[in-house]
Amino acid sequence: MEHSDKPISAWGYLGYDFLFAIPFVGVIIALILSIGAKNRNVKNFARSQFCFVLVIIIVYAAAAAMGISFAQGHLLTINNSTSQRKRSRYFKRPLIINGLRSIRLLLLQPDRR
């Protein structure tokens, strides 16, 4: 059996998992091992870890974009639906009370689409 085909032990995989779990450094090490490792099993494991990190980054970016879009849409709806009299009172309150009132309006206001 060649060195490039030698299987990795369970402890070896655990060690690589701990190594790849180090923030930022683990991604760089996974990238280096996925390109230049001599053992094919190590190379494939590093590639899988690197692809997993890329998928997680894409999912988090999509979730953040949807959350920002959702929040902007509902805040505009809340601000447009308050009357002028309520609006003048609304902006005179401290910021934390305005935020709590916005959440209450968001939960209690029927959907007008």
DSSP 8-state assignment for residue 111 = P
User: In this predicted model, what pLDDT tens digit does every residue of 61-91 receive, in sequence order?
Assistant: 988 888 777 766 666 555 555 544 455 555 5
Q: Which residues contact 87 (CB under 8 A, 6 or more apart)?
A: 79
Q: How far is CA 85 from the centre of its chain?
A: 40
User: In this predicted model, what pLDDT tens digit does every residue of 90-103 receive, in sequence order?
Assistant: 555 545 555 556 66
Alpha carbons 113 and 102: distance in angstroms, whole number: 19
What is the token pair recorded at 100?
């709590």
Give this prediction's pTM: 0.60
